[in-house]
Structure 1
Amino acid sequence: MNARTTRTLAAALSLTAALAISGCSSDSDTKADGAKADGAKPAMTVSGAFMPEPVNDQMAGAFMVIKNDSKTADKLTGITSPLSDDLQIHETKNQKMQQVASMDVPANGELNLERGGNHVMFMGLKSKPKVGDKVTIELRFEKADPVKVELDVKERTYNAQTSNAH
């Protein structure tokens, strides 16, 4: 082989190796911005969002169903609202609630935030909403774009599961 052939062969091998290495990503690989390697971002929708009328201005709960119609799992990582500067994600295990940093929203699945289960807590309300009011929140996710949601303020005894069974 002459020097030119050797350089061409070396360049071709280097290019092949680089392509092989960059092509070795799995479906679960994500880019730095959180998008999947194939560019698909989860798209979240929310239904049944409500807040029972708070008893006082110390705390309130919020409940909803977050649906992920994509093939990419995601996580609910935070909530913001003009009603409170301290919103928390709570899980309930063994009838005890505790704050968690995030909650999984499975691919092609749902995250149910419901009474007696996982939910959102508002701590230190700036005002006390009444039945019929609407409370705006913004859900933040690890990968999906933020989602603005309006919570309907309902009677303290309201429960979505029993209200939907007509």
Structure 2
Amino acid sequence: MRHRPGSHAGLLAVGALVLAAAGTLAGCGSGDSPSSSASSASSAGPELKVTGAYMPAPSMDTMAAGFFTVTNSGGADTLTSVTSDLSDEVTMHATENGAMQEKKSFAVPAEGTLDFASGGNHLMFAKLTHKPEQGEKVSVELHFAKSGTVRISMPVKSATYNPKTGH
């Protein structure tokens, strides 16, 4: 068999396209099969990073709030609880339709973020051991279903602190 110059490169390109298409189609399925792309993606472990943590200086000595962002560059996880030396009663809340509702857990989406921000999801610290002052750092442990415990230091900012402006 005689090949024309350049035909070998063309065959390689066509072969690569066929393999790429086959790989793409193999990922498509009904979702019932354990080898579906959703199962494959979720089997990757979560890779969590917590940033922007802060606590506004509380106005009363019995309650405080806390905020942070969890960025996940891996598979899905769930924030199941939060503990702190500042309080034996740390609860997680969502603000839905203007009303605060306590939640037992929060999903941390695969390749996504979970935000705890003023006016939205937040932590509530009740029955404080002491009233934290601006400049203090509060030790907090975030407990995840798959990632285990992530310890963070939550700086106490001014009561009017806005992370968008830094004041």
TM-score range, shorter chain: 0.7 to 0.9
When normalised by structure 2's length, the TM-score is: 0.74
Q: Which runs of 5+ in 2 are unaligned?
A: 1-32
Which secondary structure state, in structure 1, belongs to the residue aligned with residue 164 of structure 2? helix
> Counterpart in 2 of 1:45?
49
- AA paired with 1:157? T
Task: Indicate which of 145, 153, 156 corresponds to 2:148.
Answer: 145
Asked whether the 8 Å contact 1:78–1:88 carries over to 2, the reply is yes
Counterpart mapping for 1:1-150 below 5 A: 25-26=34-35, 38=43, 40-70=44-74, 72-150=75-153
- AA paired with 2:68? M
Deviation at 1:28, TM superposition (A): 5.8
Output the CA distance in 1 between the equivalents of 2:70 and 2:112: 9
Output the CA distance in 2 between the equivalents of 1:112 and 1:130: 24
Output the CA distance in 2 between the equivalents of 1:117 and 1:100: 12
> Counterpart in 2 of 1:160?
163
Output the CA distance in 2 between the equivalents of 1:156 and 1:139: 23
Output the CA distance in 1 between the equivalents of 2:38 and 2:103: 23
Using the aligned pairs only, state the percent identity: 43
Asked whether the 8 Å contact 2:45–2:76 carries over to 1, the reply is no
- AA paired with 1:25? P
Asked whether the 8 Å contact 1:43–1:145 carries over to 2, the reply is no
Which secondary structure state, in structure 2, belongs to the residue aligned with residue 162 of structure 1? coil
Deviation at 1:145, TM superposition (A): 2.3
When normalised by structure 1's length, the TM-score is: 0.74
Which secondary structure state, in structure 2, belongs to the residue aligned with residue 65 of structure 1? strand
Q: Which runs of 5+ in 1 are unaligned?
A: 1-23, 30-35
Asked whether the 8 Å contact 1:45–1:66 carries over to 2, the reply is yes
> Counterpart in 2 of 1:15?
none
Superposed CA RMSD in Å reads 1.9
Output the CA distance in 1 between the equivalents of 2:80 and 2:150: 12
Q: Residue by residue, what CA displacement relative to the aligned partner does 1:24-73 show, whole Å, maximum 9, x if unpaired?
A: 635666xxxxxx6x5x4212111110000111221100011111110x11
